[in-house]
Amino acid sequence: MKWIAIFAAVIAAIFFIWSQTARADTPQTGQAAPDFKLPDQNGKTHTLADYRGKWLVLYFYPKDDTPGCTEQACKFRDDLHQITALGAHVVGVSVDDSASHADFAKKYNLPFPLLADSKATVAASYGSLTNFGIVKFAKRNTFLIDPTGKIAKVYLSASTSRNSIEIIEDLKKFKAS
């Protein structure tokens, strides 16, 4: 029992340190958004510059076709008309490959790009990578990037059910000011 308690304490300490380090690496409001160049589910390459002059919802998610990721993607799909009416584009990013993204997008009729960050470099540059050595996945973080390419708002551990609504509410506030 003593070893189990020690093991649990070590794991908790590692998780705490890891979570604090990850937040320190996350771009903050007002900073320039890290650049990216990644293929989507159709093989088309997307860069941050492609969205210059437009609002960009860049959302990171752990894994294609899992319950939480499916809920979040479908909420963005369902709310896409409102988001685009506010002048924004939605782009999802995970460390899954383009083929996995293509299957996911087709299965749920997702009309926005899903970028394949197979080397996990973009997720890392956004402080949104969980790296356990051989297992890597993106954290569920969302970045609202303004038309000048700066981070307007950061949503850490974004809610799968509310993230798209939060984006819509915040876009309305930014448009009003």
Q: The tokens of 122 are what?
A: 């973009």
Query: pLDDT category, 9, cuts 50, 70, 90?
Result: low
Q: Give the chain's largest Cα–Cα span.
A: 59
- Angle (CA) 49-50-55 rounded to 5° is 90
Mean pLDDT of the chain: 91
DSSP 32: B
| Whether residue 69 lies in the annotated active site | yes
At 43 the pLDDT is 96
Mean pLDDT of 63-71: 96
Chain length of the chain = 177
Q: The tokens of 134 are what?
A: 């051989």
Question: 163-172, pLDDT tens digit by residue?
Answer: 999 999 999 9
Query: pLDDT category, 13, cuts 50, 70, 90?
Result: very low
Is the pLDDT at 102 greater than 90? The verdict is: yes
Is the pLDDT at 1 greater than 90? The verdict is: no
Q: Which is higher by pLDDT, 175 or 3?
A: 175
Whole-model pTM over 0.85: yes
Catalytic residue among 48, 69, 110, 152: 69
Question: 124-138, pLDDT tens digit by residue?
Answer: 999 999 988 888 999
Spell out where 12-166 has E strands: 37-39, 45-47, 55-60, 88-94, 114-116, 129-132, 135-138, 142-145, 151-155
